[in-house]
Amino acid sequence: MSRKIAILSLLAISLTVPSWAGKTYTREEAVKTAMENSPDIKSAEEAVVSANSQVTQGYGNAYPSIDLSATVTRIFGLDDVEKSTKLTDAASQMADGNDDNGHPNANAFDTQVIGPALDGMINQMMAQGYRWQSSVGITATQILYAQGKVGTGIEIAKAYKRVSEVSLENTKSQVRYSVENSFDALIVLDSSITILYESKALLQENLNFVEQSKNSGLATELDLIRVQLSMDQLNSQINNTEKNRVLARNALLNAMGLGWDAEVQFQGELRDPSNGYTFPDTSMANVKKRRKELVMLEETENMKSMNIDIENGGYKPTVALVGGLKYSNNQNEFYKWDAPDWDKNINKYIALNVTMNLFNGMQTRESVVQAKSSLRSTQIQKETAERGFRVQIESCVNTLEDANAQLELNKRAIDLAQKNYDLTNAAYKIGSETQLNMLSAENSLRTAKLGYIAAIANWNAAYNALLQATGEY
């Protein structure tokens, strides 16, 4: 490589920051800022939080469920209920009298057991007619068997967590790719502006020479007008490039999650292809392991396969152990309450509950069909993605090879354009070459330099695209 091309290479891959610049971001700082501010990354992080919560929730389904219930009921159209001891009183009165044989009409058993028992039974039946009926209860339910729904649900939650984590890494990779591409575009525009100003300096020398020649009678007014028109065109190109640079700069700030700031500057460089970067690994066996999209599809396939097991569980029974305590209180007035008594008004129970659906309008069968169909759709997506990645890699390899070829052509174009300019300029100054040829040589040199910058940018874009396609980005 000639010295001129080496100098141009350094120019083309570097972004210079003016001394008056405010906050300056390097490439790494720009990427880091985007990682902190990107709404896509923040959304993906929240998805991971939700997935972790679902795993915890899944384990919670294996624990007993404890529920507290309280009910207060007002029944209208009932009179006050009074406790009665009529049968006990009647038995006591009968015990005081004797029959014709001189025996008591009622004995102690009647007054102490039969009478109170019957009165209690009557009072219990009458208690159903209290105007205010209240109850407070605690129920504990433990699932003993549910055809693997609890355990499989936990595994599905874990798989979803892995999908969310891989999705977060994929989102970070995409944000980084976007920021670095925007950063490269800004470097290219800055380098182009530098070359345009260098070209303007050369053209200004030509303009000064023509003006002096015209004053001395060696050049015509037409010669001067030609150079002035070329200068106007160059100034217009510089102005347009500077406007594009502002747009590219704002696009980079937006990709970083920042607002517009005129004082912010960037400093960095493109990869120099001459440094000999390693060619990415294009082996499909390794690509399948690295491409995060495939990892997510594999975990999704696993989730949907387990979901079929859960839907099939609709054909199986569910066994649960249920226990509880319930305190009941019935009164004529809402503010009257009986003191809780473990033996009298607290109901204690434990039960084994078995539930099995016998018919639900084919809902279980259709749910299984839908789950299998969903699994097959994911498998098709995975197969399609694998084929698509193969085509993508082949396309990126071809693009990178073309970029390498164009890079060599542009290097040679600069060398030839520089020699042509030097010879034409020297001949023009001694009057043996026309001004049109001189302006054409100057324009060809500028075009070659800009083409070389574009070639380097294209090579970097192609290399980044191949890294992303192979999962190495």
* 330-346 pLDDT per residue, tens: 888 888 888 888 887 89
Task: Give Cα 222 distance to the centre of its chain.
Answer: 64
Q: Which of 1-10, 93-102, 170-179, 374-383 has the lowest mean pLDDT?
A: 1-10
Start-to-end Cα distance in the chain: 30
Given a cut of 90, whether residue 321 has pLDDT beyond it is: yes
Average pLDDT (253-264) is: 86
Question: Residue range 351-378: average pLDDT?
Answer: 93
pLDDT of 18 higher than 70? no
pLDDT attached to residue 379: 95
pLDDT in tens, 166-218: 999 999 999 999 999 999 999 999 999 999 999 899 889 888 888 888 888 87
In this prediction, residue 99 carries a pLDDT of 67
d(CA 395, CA 285) in angstroms, rounded, equals 18
- Report the pLDDT averaged over residues 424-440: 86
Q: What's the pLDDT score for residue 126?
A: 67
- Give me the pLDDT at residue 367, please: 92
CB hemisphere CA count around 359 (13 angstroms):
1
How much is the average pLDDT of 52-62? 90
Residue 19 is predicted with a pLDDT of: 42
Residue 113, pLDDT above cutoff 70? yes
Of residues 296, 290, 301, 277, the one with CA closest to residue 400: 277
Query: Do 167 and 291 meet the contact criterion of CB atoms below 8 Å apart?
Result: no
Please indicate whether residue 80 or residue 51 has the higher confidence score (pLDDT).
Answer: 51
Amino acid identity at 37: N
Instruction: Kindly tell me the burial class for residue 36, based on how many C-beta atoms sit within 10 Å of its own C-beta (0-12, 13-18, 19 or more).
Output: exposed
Scanning 216-317, the segments in alpha helix (DSSP H) are 221-255, 284-290, 292-312
Average pLDDT, the chain: 87
Say whether pLDDT at 127 is over 70. no
5, pLDDT greater than 50:
no
As beta bridge partners, residue 143 has 320
> Under DSSP, is residue 100 helix (H, G, I), strand (E, B) or coil?
coil
Q: Which residue has the higher pLDDT, 93 or 76?
A: 76
On the question of pLDDT at 70 being above 90, the answer is yes
2 touches 417 (CB < 8 A): no
Single-letter amino acid, residue 192:
S
Say if residue 305's pLDDT is above 90. Answer: yes
Provide the pLDDT confidence category of residue 65 given band limits of 50, 70 and 90: very high
Q: What span, in angstroms and rounded, lies between the C-alpha atoms of 396 and 94?
A: 111
Give the separation between CA 420 and CA 279, rounded to whole angstroms: 36
Give yes or no for residue 395 having a pLDDT over 90. yes
Lowest mean pLDDT among 108-117, 126-135, 307-316, 365-374: 108-117
pLDDT at 416 over 90: yes
Q: What is the mean pLDDT of residues 18-45?
A: 85
Given a cut of 50, whether residue 162 has pLDDT beyond it is: yes
Give the highest mean pLDDT range of 14-23, 93-102, 142-151, 396-405: 396-405
Higher pLDDT, 441 or 90: 441
Residue 308 has pLDDT above 80, yes or no: yes
The reported pLDDT for the residue numbered 180 is: 93
Report the distance separating Cα 129 and Cα 123, nearest Å: 10
Task: Specify the pLDDT at position 12.
Answer: 46
What are the CA-CA distances from residue 433 to residues 199, 212, 213, 229, 428 (Å)? 20, 17, 14, 19, 4
